[in-house]
Amino acid sequence: MKKTIASVLLLTMLCALCIRPVSLPQALRSMQETRAHTQWRETANKTGNDVRVYDDGLYYSETDPKNIVNLTDHMAYVDNEVILYFKDDVTAAQKQKLFDSLGASVIGFTDILNKYQLHLPSQKDFFELQLLCTKLRAQPTVQFASCNLAMQLTEDVVPDDPWLHEDGTSAADGWNDYDVYGGNWWLTATQTTSAWDYADRFHPISVGIVDSGFDTGHEDLQGKISFPTSYHQRTNYPSSHGTHVAGIISANANNKIGITGICDNAKLLCVDWEPEKSKGQTWSTNERIFTGVISLIKHGAKVVNMSLGSSGAYEDSKKFSWNFSMYFEGVLYSYTVASLLAKGYDFLIVQSAGNGSKNNEPCNSYYNGSFCSIKKNNVFTGLTGIKKQTVLDHILIVGSSTYAHKGTEFYQSSFSNYGDGVSIFAPGSYIYSTDLETNGKYSYKSGTSMAAPVAAGIAALTWSVNPALTGAEVKSILCDPKNACYSCINYYWDGDINIPTYPLINAKLSVEAALKTLGLPEEPQEPTTEEPVSEEPTSEPESIPIITTAPLVYGNSEDRIVEQFRGEIGE
């Protein structure tokens, strides 16, 4: 017994000697941080804030509608809140000291950004808040500070009556990539059906969707939709818009019903962003969108689709207010992207360009808000070490195209926004996809809301070919003029609005470009023995650079495999 005790004591002493001198201070600091965060969140709950908890390191408080003050009819700010980003080396005690100096309490926290949502003791007007934020940004512990902007975001869709062939036949009408027609035109126009020839090269990939709610029980979305947290699952309220977007990206293939989404190998992670109107919430603050996107990326989403925006409320008569708000919104969202990239996350954000302004004319996509509002002149990266161009390279803004009902002529949809921020166009008019049972389970919708998930699905399909690619490399592939067959010309606006010609996204050429990055041989190698040869490599290098000169290897293009995908669509 004595020997056993002596052995334990000796082992304990040896372990103590092995502890580095910095371990104890680090442990104490970690304990202080944990204790402070627990206290801050408990206080937020006790003081009556509507706290939405995603996990220990990610929560925010829903703003009381009475504290949302209009700047314009559709743009507002929260009069008693501030968003504060601290530098990484700031202690809990230093943070508490600053909170105390403001008389503020913590009501939201995002760990990977070191970002806090603060509740102020009194209401302030917009210019008082701006002055306060300017003073806070001068503090040595603060990385950035901003007021909490709010907007009445829309689902970004132009309503259309459901369209069917006059003879009542199926929505799908042939599968000819060079004679685009029918409800499946968006798949043939992007040559997605030809991209499916390479199905044996696709890997699983997670795609995030921030949208109105999703019908998880839909017959064509069975097993596809999951949520990043139990909170998101509880607060998902099925809607037509979100269900339609989900189907475009990844409705089930080969189930003998309905349609086929673009990327069947995708797992959909979904967040219902809509305010709870039953509680009188009609405004969406930056915190609601921020935390949704961050939660998706934290839980593995590589491509994140956002079919939403504010350009439908844009008023030219109040251009100064819109420009001011959009500028700071771009600052906030760009810093979010930079911070996530600096933490080692890699992703591609896909957002719809928006459907015109209040007078139903297209406008610059900049006014659609969120990630659309990021431009070269307002990219903010702080001390993250991330370059400004790198932030822009992880954002894909998508306009909408329509077709001429014959051949391969494509035009910009009359409602689609444009501008320097638009990366590419994708089919967005008369898109047939999944819907709620009350709408017949399937329906047609039009809008840049439909174009964005087409691009997101193709981005996911492309990335799944070579998971070692970065989000920026995937965007580069999608937007490379060499990887586009068709262009979308300005057909609807003559003279009044100068809208350039944009390329139409192409799945086949993008997938083939991703295949080139693998550096595979031009033809499949014949086995030298009778032993079976594995189609998958036994290991992959840690980093595979894009090899633009590598020969292309073609996947299995037997007709039976193509028809396996094509035949069930529209049944």
- pLDDT the model gives residue 403: 81
Q: What share of the chain is helix, strand, coil (3-state, %, to 5)?
A: 35, 20, 45
Bridge-based pairing of strands 58-62 and 105-110 is: antiparallel
Q: Give the residue from 455, 454, 463 showing the smallest Cα distance to 247.
A: 454
* Average pLDDT score over residue span 195-210: 95
Distance CA 349, CA 333 (A): 11
Token digits of residue 305? 């689709």
With beta carbons less than 8 A apart as the criterion, state whether 180 and 408 touch: yes
Q: Which residues have a Cβ under 8 Å from the Cβ of 428 and sit 6 or more positions away?
A: 398, 399, 400, 401, 402, 413, 416, 446, 447, 448, 449, 450, 451, 454
- pLDDT the model gives residue 271: 94
Cα→Cα distances 134→31, 130, 131, 137, 353, Å: 32, 6, 5, 5, 31
52 phi/psi in degrees, rounded to 5: -110, 105
Distance CA 516, CA 476 (A): 14
- pLDDT the model gives residue 89: 87
Cα→Cα distances 557→18, 111, 513, 563, 566, Å: 60, 47, 17, 10, 13
Quick one: pLDDT band at residue 185, thresholds 50, 70, 90? confident
Q: Which of 65-79, 214-228, 230-244 has the lowest mean pLDDT?
A: 65-79
Residue 503: pLDDT over 50: yes
Name 237's bridge partners.
Answer: none
45-98 pLDDT tens trace: 887 788 888 877 888 888 888 898 888 777 888 999 999 999 988 999 999 999
447-499 pLDDT tens trace: 999 999 999 999 999 999 999 999 999 999 999 999 998 888 887 665 566 78
Answer positive or negative: Cα dihedral of 552, 555, 559, 564: negative
- pLDDT the model gives residue 224: 95
DSSP secondary structure string for all residues of 48-81:
T-EEEEEETTEEEEEPPGGGEEESSSSEEEEEEE
Token digits of residue 469? 């690619």
What's the CATH fold of domain 185-400+412-482+500-516? Answer: Rossmann fold (3.40.50)
118-131 pLDDT tens trace: 999 999 998 999 99
* Average pLDDT score over residue span 94-103: 95
333 or 180: which carries more pLDDT confidence? 333
Quick one: pLDDT band at residue 541, thresholds 50, 70, 90? very low
Residue 552: pLDDT over 80: no
Tell me the residue ranges of DSSP E strands in 152-280.
205-211, 225-226, 266-272
Q: Say what percent of the chain tops pLDDT 90.
A: 48
DSSP H helix total and E strand total for the chain = 15, 20
Best mean pLDDT range from 4-8, 200-204, 327-331, 496-500? 200-204
- pLDDT the model gives residue 43: 86
Q: Which helix (H) or strand (E) holds 397?
A: strand 395-403
Q: Which of 321-335, 416-430, 493-507 has the lowest mean pLDDT?
A: 493-507
- Give the other-Cβ count within 10 Å of 407's Cβ: 12
Q: Classify 225 as helix, strand or coil.
A: strand
Quick one: pLDDT band at residue 358, thresholds 50, 70, 90? low
* Range(s) of the chain covered by CATH 3.40.50.200: 185-400+412-482+500-516
Bridge-based pairing of strands 487-489 and 424-427 is: unpaired
Quick one: pLDDT band at residue 151, thresholds 50, 70, 90? confident
* Average pLDDT score over residue span 4-33: 57
Please state the length of the chain.
Answer: 571
- pLDDT the model gives residue 155: 55
- pLDDT the model gives residue 3: 53
512 or 444: which carries more pLDDT confidence? 512
How high does pLDDT run on average in the chain? 80
Answer positive or negative: Cα dihedral of 100, 334, 310, 268: negative
Best mean pLDDT range from 57-71, 224-238, 257-271, 451-465? 451-465
Residue 309: pLDDT over 90: no
Cα→Cα distances 521→5, 450, 504, 516, 554, Å: 65, 37, 29, 9, 10
- pLDDT the model gives residue 461: 97
Q: Which of 4-13, 139-148, 248-257, 514-523 has the lowest mean pLDDT?
A: 4-13
DSSP secondary structure string for all residues of 111-155:
GGGTEEEEE-SS---HHHHHHHHHHHHTSTTEEEEEEEEEE--B-
- pLDDT the model gives residue 38: 86
With beta carbons less than 8 A apart as the criterion, state whether 196 and 562 touch: yes
- pLDDT the model gives residue 176: 53
380-422 pLDDT tens trace: 998 899 999 999 999 999 999 998 666 678 889 988 999 999 9
Radius of gyration of the chain (CA): 26
Residue 554: pLDDT over 60: no
- pLDDT the model gives residue 504: 95
Q: Say what percent of the chain tops pLDDT 70.
A: 77
Q: Which of 334-348, 352-366, 550-564 has the lowest mean pLDDT?
A: 550-564
Q: Which residue has the tokens 């100064």?
A: 320
154-183 pLDDT tens trace: 654 433 323 333 334 445 445 555 555 567
